[in-house]
Structure 1
Amino acid sequence: MAKKLKKSEKLDLILSELSKLRAEINALSKRQPERNVRSSPKKAAAPARKTAKPAAKKVSAASRKPASVPRRPVLVASPEAPKSAAG
């Protein structure tokens, strides 16, 4: 019968397998460009062109929208008027 592994031992086993797989992937990825170069040579990339950015529009004070007026009338508390002597 196989020995039952503890959690830390399982983790160590998984991490070691993962590192082996990473090394294998790195080795394969290094070999991959060599195959492509042999089968079809790469063309030189065209130099990147700089495009001129459009000038920022200047907004004058006259062309701005005026401050918006509230759509509903707002009740404004007025100061109390002096009472007239009617009595």
Structure 2
Amino acid sequence: MKRRSLLKFGSMSGALAIAGQLPISKAHAADTGPIKVGVLHSLSGTMAISETSLKDTALMTIAQINASGGVLGRQLEPVVV
């Protein structure tokens, strides 16, 4: 085995070992409140005319998701800005 192949294999196996130890997708017990979702559309000015329907669609979609149980048992809270 060449030195370069050995270094590549060692680096990859080390990275995989570290990645297996990180709690990337584990939810914390303290995360029980609502999940805040930003709705960033214009509420005034010339762009508000065309973006009002986008804002309303986003709010309706969030309402449907909350009605069906939310995401991972948590409700979504829209933050309209």
| TM-score above 0.5, yes or no | no
- Structure number with greater Rg is 1
TM-score, L = length of structure 2: 0.37
Name whichever structure is richer in helix by fraction.
Answer: 2
